[in-house]
Structure 1
Amino acid sequence: MGIGATAGVAAIGGVALTANASSDSGSSSSSSSDSLVFDPDAYTKLTTTVTDTNDKDHTVVYHFWKAITYVAEPVDATYQSLVVSVPVEIDGKAVDASDAPILLANSVGGYMPSSVATATGVGAGGMSGGGAAPSGAPTGGAAPSASASTASNANGNTNATGGATAGNQLLALAAGYVVIEPGARGRTLKNSDGEYYGTAPAAIVDLKAAVRYIRSNKGRIPGDVERIVSAGTSAGGALSSLLGASGDSPAYDKYLKEIGAADASDAIFATGAWCPITDLEHADGAYEWNWGGNDLSTGKLVDQTVSKALQAQFAEYQAGLKLRGLGGFGPLNARNLDTYLVKQYLEPSATTYLAALSDSARATYLKANTFITWSGGKATFTWADFLTHVGARKKDAPAFDAFDLSAGENNEFGAGTTLARHFTAYGAKNDSTGLTTKRVASDIPAKLDLMNPMHHLVGKANPNRSKHWWIRLGTKDSDTSLTVAANLAARLGDLGDDVNHLYYWDEGHGANTDPGDFITWIAQVTNHRGPKNK
């Protein structure tokens, strides 16, 4: 089992990194971009101290491989590279990680570029930063949307873009797992000709190529390549979900061939997704269904004509999904989703939170939040009162396909030298930028399919998808709709997959309050009995 498992809410303690030890093999830089053969001897030997969720320190000696380009024909090796960390000694005992699970942890936020090119140790890679990328950022619109906002991401630490934090990775390393961190192209990357080369579907193609590289090096890269567990937050959570849902889908083959991906499977074993910003073509309607009546931070409501129109679109979409709720709830539709969310997620989340408090702290919280009825050790409340409790919504309407093309997601569907494009018929029809045509470009529908895990799950589900899912979301996360993760989990449940899904009470975007439990969950679903002592 992994270390640091907790029954309730836990926080990662301080983490110290020491990375000055010499390499067993004299150290080596990244492999040549024209070679997809992993060099087992090209590592540096490092030491780190990991504080687990019980505030206990662990000394971990590990082998670290600097940035390795994972495709033969990289568009930009700065982003199309990965780093590998393999524990060899934990708390003074030599360990063998040759058959350990592999945590594939991406640091993508806001569909921005993510690089490990200069990483010097586990958890040290991350975002290229803000709204700019080294290769040139867009000007004008397409600012990083709220999905790239300051947040405590899936690794349990706070980062301005949801990027270079290290909690999950470090806990995994201390549990004896192999940790691989891939970079990926992102939406702001622009070449000298002014062409955007990191927009959809570049990020998911890159992550698939990274998986193929790992699998093609079975026996060379330490760890069990049949037990790859993906992890990501926000847009990275969406990509993690997509990676799990779309394993070995032929829809990506031409893109993978273009960049010289290894000839291997890109299916993964299990998926970890925190606040996935996904199902983008229906995200505007879902957002208005959830937050349409909540004021903006300015105290004003969004345009209710727009909000109501989007809500109607969502109701039609939700009915078409023909989902059944978890726990035997029955068919889900726009009329009963609020009841489902309250009973399946929100009340249990509040109950867990309140039960973990001391009697005095609980009394204080309940006095300040009188909408909650606390009886028999359980919390109950209405959907309307919950929405009032959350307060201001984070995004205007539409939240994702902005009429003025200002959302980060508009930039994600940019192409060529075009900074940002509409990707919904409603957004295009109501464009406010003066476009001569108010229709979605012909290539958009196929790209939406490539970027949406639901496309691979609804209807004839992809048989090579991940069968184990860990999904988390904060109850106060108005970066997206609470329905997005709930629909994903419901569909996976309908398919018979193993779904571990809960919401964190009163937490915002990117929260991860049970990282130790995630590490233990990996051990459970992979049937890993802990690190082998040499």
Structure 2
Amino acid sequence: MKRVIALVLIVVMVMLFSVGCGGTTEESEKKPQPVTNLSKPDLTKWHYNKEFDLYYQTGIGYCEKPADEQYEKLAVFVPGAYMDASDNGDGTYTCKVSESAELNGYSAATAPIMMPVETPGYASAKALNDEILMTHQGILEQLSDYTSQGFVFVLSGCRGTNEGAPTGVTDLKAAIRYIRYADDVIAGDAESIFVYGMSGGGAQATILGASGDSELYTPYLEAIGAVQGVSDAVQGVMAWCPVTNLDTANAEYEWMMGCTRPKRTDELNAISDKLAHAYADYVNSAGFTDENGKPLTLTESEEGIYQAGSYYDHVKGVIETSLNHYLTDTKFTNITAQDYINSLNTDKNWVIYDKTTNTATITSVADFAKHCKTASELPVAFDGLWGKNTLFGSSEGELSHFDRILADVLTEMNSEYAADFAADLAKANFVGHTVETRVNLYSPLFYLMKSREGYGTSNIAKYWRIRSGIEQKTNSLTTEINLTLALKSCDKVDNVDFETVWAQDHTEAERSGNSTENYISWVNTCTKG
């Protein structure tokens, strides 16, 4: 009898151990199921474009309680090869996903899903519908660059600046959740979603990549009736000139580019200088490290404000690498490389060129900024003293300041603007989030840096490609540098491909070739190994 009891205990312990360690019991294998009343795409309502061989549906609602239906819908475009279709005789087709067809090495089950974020300045994006497609045939031609390569293409509308953060990213997350919910009827690998964009679109793509499944977005997603029980994380991010890091953007701008702006009133000059000092304080507490794990910090300097230290050297090195890539890539014809360097040095010798190695160095970051990256804005370019913005208003159309660093500077100076900033920063929206919390929701580094509260609370994209024009006046170069440093120090990220391109501005900057083709090639590298 004792032997029987012992055997029973052993069996029970084995069963408990199996379940506790994620064993093979039916209960442990169950995945969370999507919770929604939304319908999946109607398989009898596909449209077909013969010229580009793709099937599509537009006007698909991705949330149950849309705040604005002109934005909160998506469109899906699928390569013709992935569909077994029958003509309904009324201009529509009944389709089911083919299990055997392949295109460019992908099948309907493995094809990556491309999702552009077309929101310049964090603006809203109206949802695509059949009427727009009929009057703008160029849309199909553009997206066929992707479907012809075997990708599934999803174009989502979203709210934007006027409705306030985080509505834009919330809507895009809801669209991603819907795609996963409808994975069984839409071709493509719902675990291989790549988002991409330029400027404000690039910024929101980076937020999506950094904030996957963040619980801070839960009340916003619930408010619009987004699908529950599925992930909103993405696999990869492509960002050209992302206007991001808004929590530190003013300070970054003044540290790098404030020296290029004509001197103004004593108060504005003092604000600029104090923001530059505040940026040094931020860098020295942020925890940036180089590829060897060495801390990157700023130290005081005889000239300029904190223009020395390992972080400064890193920034200077990024600039020199960009210039040397340009010298290597460019086929000089009417002029020589030395002639080009001479043109840079017209009013000051700030570039030192070695003709034998065809390489160059610069005298300082400040000299580079003065010659190639002059400030285009008044001090406090991203959150002005006089004008406010709608992006962080606590209700639709409301204006609000958002910069905590600037607010602290103004308080220290006993400025007449300090009270206005303090009042705005304390405002709460309908879920009880203050402006500062909502700025965090829109700051990738909040999730990427170990020094920030959001670290470890999200599922971060594995693959990142970042490109910027080094001469853009919109951002400080530190925007892309800091994003790259944060990503490279994050153990959840497999690959970070960053370059800033010499002699290019705020554009889809590439050292060579076409931005779309380069992006497609990169995605293929990520997905095919």
Matching residue of 1:421: 400
Q: Distance in 1 between matches of 2:367 and 2:139?
A: 34
Letter in 2 for 1:416: S
Deviation at 1:47, TM superposition (A): 4.8
Letter in 1 for 2:79: P
* Cα offsets for 1:471-492 (capped at 9, x unmatched): 1111011211111211111111
Matching residue of 1:117: 128
Does 2:296 match 1:332? yes
| Structure of higher CA gyration radius | 2
Does 2:197 match 1:232? yes
TM-score by length of 2: 0.74
The structure with the greater share of residues assigned to helix is 2
Q: Distance in 2 between matches of 1:331 and 1:175?
A: 42
Matching residue of 1:271: 237
Deviation at 1:389, TM superposition (A): 2.1
Does 2:465 match 1:484? no
Q: Which runs of 5+ in 2 are unaligned?
A: 1-35, 83-100, 299-307, 428-433
Deviation at 1:502, TM superposition (A): 0.7
- In the alignment, is the contact (CA less than 8 A) between 1:321 and 1:458 conserved in 2? yes
Does 2:144 match 1:179? no
- 1:472 corresponds, among 467, 471, 474, to 467
- 2:330 corresponds, among 357, 361, 382, to 357
Does 2:55 match 1:63? yes
Deviation at 1:302, TM superposition (A): 9.7
Q: Which runs of 5+ in 1 are unaligned?
A: 1-32, 49-59, 126-163, 189-197, 529-534
Residues 132-531 of structure 1 correspond to what in structure 2 (within 5 A)? Answer: 169-188=143-162, 198-263=163-228, 264-295=230-261, 303-326=268-291, 328=292, 330-334=294-298, 335-336=308-309, 337-343=311-317, 345-360=318-333, 361-363=335-337, 364-370=339-345, 371-372=350-351, 373-375=353-355, 376-382=357-363, 383-406=365-388, 410-416=389-395, 419-425=398-404, 426-427=406-407, 429=411, 430=415, 432=417, 435=420, 438=423, 440-442=425-427, 443-459=434-450, 460-462=455-457, 464-496=459-491, 497=493, 498-513=495-510, 514-515=514-515, 516-527=517-528
Rate the CA distance shift 1:121–1:355 in 2: closer, same or farther, 3 A: farther
Rate the CA distance shift 1:182–1:439 in 2: closer, same or farther, 3 A: closer
Letter in 2 for 1:108: T
Deviation at 1:62, TM superposition (A): 1.2
- More displaced, 301-310 or 223-232? 301-310
Letter in 1 for 2:496: V
Deviation at 1:417, TM superposition (A): 5.9
Matching residue of 1:22: none
Rate the CA distance shift 1:333–1:100 in 2: closer, same or farther, 3 A: same
Q: Distance in 2 between matches of 1:167 and 1:420?
A: 39
* Cα offsets for 1:408-466 (capped at 9, x unmatched): xx210112366211112434755659959656224112211211111111223345211
Rate the CA distance shift 1:43–1:439 in 2: closer, same or farther, 3 A: closer
Q: Distance in 2 between matches of 1:342 and 1:177?
A: 39
Letter in 1 for 2:435: I
Q: Which has the higher contact order (CA 8 A, sep 6+)?
A: 1
Rate the CA distance shift 1:181–1:88 in 2: closer, same or farther, 3 A: same
- In the alignment, is the contact (CA less than 8 A) between 1:228 and 1:270 conserved in 2? yes
Secondary structure class of the residue paired with 1:85: strand
Matching residue of 1:39: 42
State the Cα RMSD in Å. 3.1
Letter in 1 for 2:289: R
Rate the CA distance shift 1:438–1:199 in 2: closer, same or farther, 3 A: closer
Deviation at 1:520, TM superposition (A): 1.0
Secondary structure class of the residue paired with 2:221: helix
Letter in 2 for 1:101: P
Secondary structure class of the residue paired with 1:419: coil
Q: Distance in 2 between matches of 1:124 and 1:257?
A: 35
Deviation at 1:359, TM superposition (A): 3.6
Matching residue of 1:149: none
Identity over aligned pairs, percent: 27
Letter in 1 for 2:294: G
- In the alignment, is the contact (CA less than 8 A) between 1:113 and 1:185 conserved in 2? yes
- In the alignment, is the contact (CA less than 8 A) between 2:164 and 2:395 conserved in 1? no
- In the alignment, is the contact (CA less than 8 A) between 1:295 and 1:302 conserved in 2? no
* Cα offsets for 1:190-211 (capped at 9, x unmatched): xxxxxxxx20110111111011
Matching residue of 2:114: 103
Deviation at 1:43, TM superposition (A): 2.4
Q: Distance in 1 between matches of 2:264 and 2:402?
A: 29
Secondary structure class of the residue paired with 1:229: strand
Rate the CA distance shift 1:464–1:391 in 2: closer, same or farther, 3 A: closer
Letter in 2 for 1:379: A
TM-score by length of 1: 0.73
Letter in 2 for 1:232: G
Matching residue of 2:6: none
What number of residue pairs does the alignment pair up?
A: 430
